[in-house]
Structure 1
């Protein structure tokens, strides 16, 4: 299953966190790949589909050796506060550990990282570890249109000729805090965004207005694609393993790496967004 997840990631149809186990996000990505390739859409992994994935995604090794850098191990790793008021007192909401940083860097779960490196200590630059060789996190082409399928918990990105460029698992709103319906447009993009909590605009949270500094573990994962209406946006997450397995307060959550890839491929004032 890890093979399929890595190849899907390379092919632009994200399985979310690569964990080696599969599940709903992997099946969704398989169906999206089948649709893009004109194959029967059943989401079932067989030899024919695996061969098509290899042809599309290339023959590079699935796992590669990576040497830890000083940047990987010398970060100011700190436990992330559960309380937003405590978050607001920090300068940045960064990673809590080198393990978390490396797992996100290579689109993996921390469990898979540990399984590939059972005896590794992620504390010294120069240490060699095994990581999956996933996607470069770039979408080939400009995204002209985004479709958010709320029932499928999926975001699809199309070019101006309506070719499916990429698909991602997405967390959307609940019945209590629903995502919107209808048409919107990308109005702004921020790769290192603060999160502003205004209790006057929310039916949840505390009573104090707060500004949470940027970083991968702030409530929006640091990446924000504004949709120009009622505070709705597409953004990252502090918990990539929860994507498409929980509910948001109405916005659309992606893994941080998927949100960054999408943010680099959309255009403010041009890319259209449809919720259905």
Structure 2
């Protein structure tokens, strides 16, 4: 059953079928874009660069005027998805019983840990529901996040069907996006990325997917990082959602390069990387579901 928290105007208004571009409208747009596989990245209810990229990609795929704006035609197409934007979720014993702990920033200290798990329940729930921890708090201002059975309002993004199989992946550095393309050359899904930097440029050209790894460890080699601490040595960092490559590594034919997740979903599309292509953990899982070995990955400026 869907329920809306009476104390949260965002939760109430986000289910209305209108073209408002206030906080509730932005939240609605982001959830619908996520469900349509045109990801706005971390859902936060604020209009930003990732949302605008998602809107542009969605408009192009739907043969709408490509403006990046939430105009009437775009709202009409998005609102064909009539599923509730927010749904009720009850915290479980497992949710509140995890061993949440702050993680050290230093790579060598992280290498001493047996797992790189979530630091808070809000972070864990944000990952599951593709939302910023701040948004979850805003939607549930009086909720006790430490108590099993607490009812929350969360973005309705779980259980969405996986995207179709892609025949090509296009990473566009200038637009900070990764696009899935079908056999006819049509884009049908898009995700924000961080890709390359001045020190570690994106390797332009065509590569192929070699393999994928779920919950990978991270083999830290300071010699490969221009900004590494000179006192650091090689280390293997344990798996976990806060591992530097997140929950999935998609290996490319270019040595040392891949598509992967991140420990910092809010940074995607807004910061640079060390050459690889970073996505939120939930987006890289959707990409992984849509590709296979030998799929071509085009990297372009």
> How high is the TM-score relative to the length of structure 2?
0.88
> 1:198, 1:182 → 2: CA distance?
25
- Give the structure 2 partner of residue 54 of structure 1: 79
> 2:126, 2:220 → 1: CA distance?
28
> 1:137, 1:242 → 2: CA distance?
24
State which of 29, 32, 37 in structure 2 corresponds to 1:4: 29
Q: Secondary structure at the residue paired with 1:51? A: helix
How far did 1:136 drift? 3.4
State the Cα deviation string for residues 223-263 of structure 1 (Å, max 9, x = none): 11111212011111111111110000100110110011111
- Give the structure 2 partner of residue 211 of structure 1: 236
Would you identify which runs of 4 or more consecutive aligned residues in structure 1 move more than 6 Å?
none
Q: Aligned Cα RMSD in Å?
A: 1.3
> 1:236, 1:75 → 2: CA distance?
22
C-alpha change, 1:13 and 1:135, in structure 2 (3 Å) is farther
> 1:96, 1:59 → 2: CA distance?
34
State which of 257, 262, 271 in structure 1 corresponds to 2:295: 271
How far did 1:137 drift? 5.5
Matched, 1:252 2:277: yes
> 1:204, 1:230 → 2: CA distance?
20
State the Cα deviation string for residues 152-206 of structure 1 (Å, max 9, x = none): 0010011223232210011011112211100101111012101111233333314
Matched, 1:88 2:115: no
> 1:227, 1:122 → 2: CA distance?
40
- Give the structure 2 partner of residue 170 of structure 1: 193
Say how many residue pairs are matched: 273
- Give the structure 1 partner of residue 102 of structure 2: 79
State the Cα deviation string for residues 75-121 of structure 1 (Å, max 9, x = none): 11110110111111111100001110001110111111000111111
Please show how residues 29-68 of structure 1 align to structure 2 within 5 Å.
29-55=54-80, 58-68=81-91
How far did 1:135 drift? 5.3
Matched, 1:220 2:245: yes
> How high is the TM-score relative to the length of structure 1?
0.95
Gaps of 5+ in 1: none
How far did 1:9 drift? 0.5
> 1:13, 1:96 → 2: CA distance?
28
> 1:230, 1:250 → 2: CA distance?
11
